[in-house]
Structure 1
């Protein structure tokens, strides 16, 4: 997955979830933040950020904030990116080498699951979560309470009972990490739901990414601790 027209800037402030003020080439720009999570540990005072300039001259905000440097570590924080790179991962054959059908945004129960796939006689339901929270090389999800995330896990458990192969995939939007673990400090109920899913046979897949200033691509599987 590649970005076009990336500009480096300095983060100034974030008055709400959707916009931030960034100094780009000496000008204070209002930019759209492509992640409605808290991201407080990322968007710190004077952090170096990367913004993609829009091709649409009529947009209210001309830039999208898509990545940030946390010290020397480059972290992609575009909330739309995990599904895009996971779709590329599915198409590459690295998830399963004999997929015959891939459908994004599959309606199951009262939810839309990110991907439905078929492989010979197997059927897969896959939910994707992007991970940007990191502390000393350990990455976690979520960075804020997520009842929606718990609902998705419950749907996967139900689907597993009905014969689907079910997967929750955590796409870690950085590389060089130690392992993934649920963020029980912020939302223990999500961590409890993840353990329940694991015990019911839901596959947990954690994947880090190669991150550059202009691209994102899934790299390797990462260990996890529940």
Structure 2
């Protein structure tokens, strides 16, 4: 996926989960001023959005918006991390058959019973359900999810475990919004229940996989599959 126009800025503060204050240089005069930007990730991102961090903004021309920019990525040292929470589903949609295999059709945002799954597809007569989780947390080269407890994420994994037990093909796809990691693991320290849910999912036949990404300031593409490290 690609962004039309991007610029760099310097992160100052995050007064609430939707808004960041970012210092931006005028492209003509070079004069710097602080602008309010929409944050395209409502997670904590405490290890990423630190004062002075170099961030990447997507420019919006929508006159109805209250902010003219979306904060989409941040540099953690030399490592560029995309933190747009809508990007993982877009990347997986573009590369769904590379991950899951050739499918008859792929339907995003599919309702089944009382649940809604990121993707539904059919493959060789089988029903396929998939959930995508974006990963922005990295520690010592290991990607971790989540960066804060998520009841929604836990619910999705448990639902897929139940469906797998009923004979459906199910996938949990952790899309790591950075490159160069050595592997992925559930964040047992943050939410041990989610780690155990992943272990139970694998035991039930759910395909729990992780892929890194090729990240540029104006784009995000599916990279390589990386090892999933579980405690069990």
Question: What residue ranges of structure 2 are gaps of 5+ in the alignment?
Answer: 26-31
TM-score, length basis structure 2: 0.94
2-side partners of 1:158 and 1:107: how far apart?
A: 16
**1:98-152 deviations in Å (ceiling 9; x for gaps):** 2110000111232211000112212210000000000111010000111111110
Q: How many residues align?
A: 224
Deviates more, 1:103-112 or 1:123-132: 103-112
**Does 1:215 find its partner at 2:219?**
yes
Runs of at least 4 residues off by over 2 Å = 95-98
Partner of 1:119: 123
Offset of residue 58 of structure 1: 2.5
Deviates more, 1:108-117 or 1:7-16: 108-117
Which of 85, 92, 102 is equivalent to 1:86?
A: 92
Question: What residue ranges of structure 1 are gaps of 5+ in the alignment?
Answer: none
1:109–1:155 Cα contact (<8 Å) kept: no
TM-score, length basis structure 1: 0.97
RMSD: 0.9
**Equivalent runs, 1:148-167 vs 2, <5 Å:** 148-167=152-171
SS of 2:16 mapped into structure 1: coil
1:138–1:178 Cα contact (<8 Å) kept: yes
SS of 2:213 mapped into structure 1: strand
**Does 1:23 find its partner at 2:23?**
yes
Partner of 2:6: 6
Which of 43, 47, 59 is equivalent to 2:53?
A: 47
Which of 55, 69, 73 is equivalent to 1:67?
A: 73
2-side partners of 1:108 and 1:204: how far apart?
A: 20
SS of 1:211 mapped into structure 2: strand
1-side partners of 2:130 and 2:115: how far apart?
A: 12
2-side partners of 1:18 and 1:195: how far apart?
A: 33
Partner of 2:110: 106
